[in-house]
Amino acid sequence: MARALRRRLTADPALLGRGDCGLEWVLAENDEPERIRLRFRNSAPDGAVRSLMLPVPVDGRPPGEQAAAIASRLMVHDPVDGATTTWD
């Protein structure tokens, strides 16, 4: 699922670019099969660049179908909403 979403986001950078964001990575962890995490960079209002993490729920649908659904959500919702600031 994480690979499918990463492919989708790299193929269409505008999905994250809408929130002035750039993808860093997509992570799936074995101990959290119900979610993946997106990490991306974005410019804060003061001009500083910050790293943000967005947890994304996943389900039993095929990875390509889930990646398309997540991409659709990112088209209408700013990815910064719901994300938390992370530190390198």
Residue 43, pLDDT score: 82
Output the pLDDT for position 51.
Answer: 92
Give the pLDDT band (50/70/90) at residue 88: low
What DSSP designation does 77 have? S
The pLDDT of residue 26 = 96
Bridge partner list, 59: none
How far apart are alpha carbons 5 and 25 in whole angstroms?
10
Q: What is the pLDDT of residues 31-87, one digit of tens each?
A: 999 999 999 998 878 888 889 999 999 998 999 999 999 999 988 888 888 899 886
Three-state SS string across 33-85, please?
A: CCEEEEEEEEECCCCCEEEEEEEEECCCCCHHHHHHHHHHHHHHCCCCCCCEE
